Amino acid sequence: QEAVSAAMEVAELVLVSGGLGPTPDDLTKEAVSSLLGLELRLDKKVLRKLEELFKSRGYTGSPNNFSQAEVPEGATVLPNNRGTAPGLLLEEGSSLVVLLPGVPQELRGIFQEDLQLLLNQRFKGRAEPVHHRMIHTTGIPESRLSELVSQHLTGDMGPVTLAFLPDLRGVDLRLSARCTSAKEAKERLAKLEETLEPITAKWRFEASGGDIAEALNRTLFEGGYTVAVAESCTGGLVSQRITDHPGSSDVFLGGVIAYQDEVKFSQLGVSRLAVAKHGEVSEVVACQMAIGVADRLGASTGIAITGVAGPGGGTSEKPVGTVWVAVSIKETVEARLLRLVGDRHAIRERAAQYALALLYRRLIDVRSKA
- Which ranges in 58-126 belong to alpha helices (H)? 63-66, 104-110, 116-122
Peptide bond into 101 cis (omega under 30): no
Candidate ranges 6-14, 186-194, 200-208, 304-312; the one touching its own copies (CB under 8 A): 304-312
Tell me the per-residue interface mask from 151 to 170 with its own copies, x by CB under 8 A, - otherwise. Answer: ----------xxxx-xx---
* Distance of closest approach, residue 157 Cβ to its own copies, in angstroms: 12
Within positions 305 to 324, which residues make up the interface with its own copies, using CB under 8 A? 310-313
Q: Which of 31, 35, 77, 346 binds its own copies (CB under 8 A)?
A: 346
Dihedral sign from CA coordinates of 138, 141, 143, 145: negative
Report yes or no: 282 and 300 within 8 Å, Cβ to Cβ. no
DSSP string, 202-238: TTEE--TTS-HHHHHHHHHHHTT--EEEEESTTTTHH
Is there binding between residue 297 and its own copies (CB under 8 A)? yes
Is there binding between residue 279 and its own copies (CB under 8 A)? no
User: Across the beta sheet with 170-178, what order do the strands follow?
Assistant: 160-167, 170-178, 130-137, 204-205
Is there binding between residue 235 and its own copies (CB under 8 A)? yes
Q: Is 41 exposed, middle or buried (0-12, 13-18, 19+ CB in 10 A)?
A: middle
> CB-wise, 97 or 322, nearer to its own copies?
322
Is there binding between residue 362 and its own copies (CB under 8 A)? no
For residue 141, count other CB atoms closer than 10 A to its CB: 11
Within positions 103 to 122, which residues make up the interface with its own copies, using CB under 8 A? 103, 105
Q: For 161, phi and psi rounded to 5 degrees?
A: -125, 160
Is there binding between residue 262 and its own copies (CB under 8 A)? yes
Is there binding between residue 140 and its own copies (CB under 8 A)? no
Within positions 15 to 44, which residues make up the interface with its own copies, using CB under 8 A? 21-25
Within positions 58 to 97, which residues make up the interface with its own copies, using CB under 8 A? 58-59, 61-65, 82
For residue 6, count other CB atoms closer than 10 A to its CB: 11
Q: Which of 249, 272, 276, 365 binds its own copies (CB under 8 A)?
A: 249
Is there binding between residue 266 and its own copies (CB under 8 A)? yes
Q: Which of 129, 236, 269, 314 binds its own copies (CB under 8 A)?
A: 236
Report yes or no: 220 and 144 within 8 Å, Cβ to Cβ. no
* Distance of closest approach, residue 177 Cβ to its own copies, in angstroms: 15
Candidate ranges 32-40, 88-96, 184-192, 253-261; the one touching its own copies (CB under 8 A): 253-261
* Distance of closest approach, residue 163 Cβ to its own copies, in angstroms: 5
Q: What does the alpha-carbon distance between residue 274 and residue 272 come to, in Å, rounded to a whole number?
A: 5
Q: Mapping DSSP to helix (H, G, I), strand (E, B) and coil, where does residue 352 land? A: helix
* Distance of closest approach, residue 17 Cβ to its own copies, in angstroms: 15
Strand partners, 338: 323
Is there binding between residue 53 and its own copies (CB under 8 A)? yes
Q: What does the alpha-carbon distance between residue 302 and residue 252 come to, in Å, rounded to a whole number?
A: 10
C-alpha distances (whole Å) from 111 to each of 18, 99, 118, 120, 258 are 14, 11, 9, 11, 42
> CB-wise, 89 or 258, nearer to its own copies?
258
**For its own copies, how many residues bind (rule: CB under 8 A)?**
75
Candidate ranges 36-44, 110-118, 239-247, 271-279; the one touching its own copies (CB under 8 A): 239-247
Is there binding between residue 57 and its own copies (CB under 8 A)? yes
